[in-house]
Amino acid sequence: MLKMAHRFVLSLLASASIAGADGHAQTPPLLDSARVPHVGEGGRADYRRFLLQATPRAFALSENGAWGWASAIEPDLAATEARALGNCAAYGGSNCRIYARDLDVLGPEPAPAPTPPADPLAGGPGWALVPDGRFLWQGPQAARGAYLWAHGRAAGGADSRGSQPQPHARAFNNAGYDVLRLDRDPDRDETAAGAERMRAALAELRARGYARVVAAGQSRGAWDALAALDAPGRADAVIAIAPAAHGPTGSIAHAWALDDLSRVITAARAPTTRVAIATFAGDEYAPDPPGRAAAFARLAPRTGALLLLDRPAGLEGHGAGADWRFTLRYAACLLDFAEGRRATC
């Protein structure tokens, strides 16, 4: 499993490049596993796996060839670095030091990451289109595309603005996509308004000149991305992780959830958009899983291609898209599917 995952990660990073001053494609220092000193191919393969992890994250190494890393000891970077150094030492490292922290290479040849715009690119009452500074940034002209992430609507009205996109987004970022968030005010986040904000954000990314645009999200954010399929050309691909808009088990809204989903699917008019949907067993926000799977399947003739990951084995619950096993199993495939190189996973 891990050997296969490493091959997937290698294929992702082989295509990640930016244009240098001489006009030739160059791999960003952070993504260049060949730059990592002292470690052998096993360490470089593990480094490529590290590059799919959420921040805060740190990769440590030793001159004697040992290494270790840690990720998302939330939200404490110092604790994350301490864990990485401890892991390096536990595997025989002496005088371990941090090689990479979040997006920056610290040494022996330091390479800080580019800084994304500090302000939202667009927005209005209740929403903002925000470049996510936890991902590498290139800008519309240099990037391979834009990956737009829409968060879910948290139970109890909690504010999800600023929450980190799921780790599979790293596959897109490592391949050259800018990652942006569609942040929504929970006090103004009605379903119809969320879908309209998704449409506006996608239009803004098109207007800024991104070569490709991917609309992605989890739960309500995924529902909004599917709702944006009601006109052609808004996105080149949609990645909908555990789409939902009707609350958890016990919600009265579950009685009409399947009808609402059918309306979203019937409205789809996106003949060139490739659509990937992931659902999970034991999802309390997903009533009638077989009925939902049948409804999602009806998107196939209304879109450019459909990939339905329907309740994959070993992944359970509404948040399973954030599980490391989902990332290792499907991140590379989702990128390949979105760009037309793969029909199935």
Residues 146, 166: Cα–Cα separation, whole Å: 15
- pLDDT tens digit string along 124-180? 999 999 999 999 999 999 999 999 999 999 877 899 999 999 999 999 999 999 999
Label the pairing between strands 97-101 and 104-105: antiparallel
Q: Are 310 and 342 in contact, with CB atoms under 8 Å apart?
A: no
pLDDT attached to residue 16? 53
pLDDT attached to residue 157? 81
- pLDDT tens digit string along 192-217? 999 999 999 999 999 999 999 999 99
Of residues 10 and 312, more confidence is placed in: 312
Statement: residue 7 has pLDDT above 60: no
Residue 277, beta-bridge partner list: 240, 308
Q: Is 16 left (phi over 0), alpha (psi -120 to 50) or beta?
A: beta
Q: Percent of the chain having pLDDT more than 70?
A: 93
Does the model's pTM come out above 0.85? Answer: yes
Helix (H, G, I), strand (E, B) or coil at 87: helix
- pLDDT tens digit string along 70-120? 999 878 999 999 999 999 999 999 999 999 999 999 988 899 999 999 999
Q: Percent of the chain having pLDDT more than 90?
A: 88
Statement: residue 286 has pLDDT above 50: yes
pLDDT attached to residue 13? 42
Average pLDDT over the chain reads 92
Residues 82, 125: Cα–Cα separation, whole Å: 41
Q: At what angle do helices 289-297 and 257-266 cross, to 10 degrees?
A: 10
The pLDDT confidence band at residue 25, using thresholds 50, 70 and 90, is low
- pLDDT tens digit string along 57-83? 999 999 999 999 999 987 899 999 999
Statement: residue 283 has pLDDT above 80: yes
Question: In the chain, what is the straight-line distance between the N-terminal and C-terminal CA atoms, in Å?
Answer: 14
pLDDT attached to residue 27? 85
Residues 93, 284: Cα–Cα separation, whole Å: 45
